[in-house]
Amino acid sequence: MNPFRVAMAVARKDLRSEWRTRELVPALAQFIILALLIANFGFQINSDNTASIVPGVLWFALIFAGLVAFGRTFAAEREQASLEAMLMTPASPVAIFAGKAFAATVLLIACEAIMLPALALFFGTNIGFDTILAVFVATIGMAALGCLFAALVARVRARELMLPLLTLPLWIPFIIAGGMAVQTALGLPGSYDEAIGLLIDFDILFVVLTSLAARFVLDE
């Protein structure tokens, strides 16, 4: 059995379901806009502090949107008991996990496509290619970790509480490196290349680790 075919089938199924129900992306987009609006009123923004405040606002909005997005990926499967149906097939649990993580990444990127222009609009800052690349690279590793813990907590009762408790500490490296990358992209001193390099290292590390762990998390 081809694991790539399985992963693509799972991702296609998740994206098709989301396209038809429009359950997640519109709600997340609304949440992101509201978060940015509140931050816009909450901070005293001027041309001197924009570059230091905007990265913080960006990552805060992104991590909370990510928690909701990744939490839903497995919660919906558990609610309709379809995860068991998937796992009852001979398909590899790692391929199933990869497909779900890929679909969740695409959905979060769709939200980022709304968040970044909104950020530019509310905070009057230039969002260039460097910022987009940093957010995109961080999203990959964050999605791998978020989906793994979402799969893990989907079978416990207090999953809404457990998911942030488990995920946020391990997202800290992405926030640090991602924050550094966006700050330098917005003109603050620092090495952008070094920050992006760190993000890529974290991506590789966590994608490999979560792929190894996914089998045990989904299998039993």
Report the site for other proteins in 76-135 (rule: CB under 8 A): 80-91, 96
> Within 13 Å of residue 155, how many CA atoms lie on the same side as its CB?
9
What three-state secondary structure class fits 84? helix
Minimum CB distance to other proteins, residue 148 (Å): 20
Residue 24: which of 117, 137, 146, 106 has the closest Cα?
106
Minimum CB distance to other proteins, residue 19 (Å): 8
Q: Out of 13, 43, 159, 211, which residue is the one contacting other proteins (CB under 8 A)?
A: 13
Minimum CB distance to other proteins, residue 160 (Å): 22
Minimum CB distance to other proteins, residue 12 (Å): 8
- Residue with Cβ nearer other proteins (5 or 38): 5
Distance of alpha carbon 146 from its chain centroid, rounded? 7
- Residue with Cβ nearer other proteins (67 or 86): 86
Instruction: Estimate the crossing angle of helix 129-153 against helix 192-219, to 10 degrees.
Output: 20
What three-state secondary structure class fits 124? coil
Assess 6 for contact with other proteins (CB under 8 A): yes
- Residue with Cβ nearer other proteins (84 or 194): 84
Residues 181, 131: Cα–Cα separation, whole Å? 7
Q: List Cβ neighbours of 5 (8 Å cut-off, separation of 6 or more).
A: none
Centre a 10 Å sphere on the Cβ of residue 137 and count the other Cβ atoms it contains.
22
Of the candidate spans 51-59, 75-83, 148-156, 173-181, the one that interacts with other proteins by CB under 8 A turns out to be: 75-83
Assess 5 for contact with other proteins (CB under 8 A): yes
Of the candidate spans 11-19, 64-72, 124-132, 180-188, the one that interacts with other proteins by CB under 8 A turns out to be: 11-19
Residues in the chain: 220
Spell 53-74 as b/e; 16+ CB within 10 A means b: bbbebbbebbbbbbbbbbbbbb
- Residue with Cβ nearer other proteins (194 or 219): 219
What is the x/- site pattern for other proteins, positions 15-44, by CB under 8 A? Answer: -xx--xx-----------------------
Query: What does the binding site for other proteins look like in residue numbers (CB under 8 A)?
Result: 1-2, 5-6, 9-10, 13, 16-17, 20-21, 80-91, 96, 220
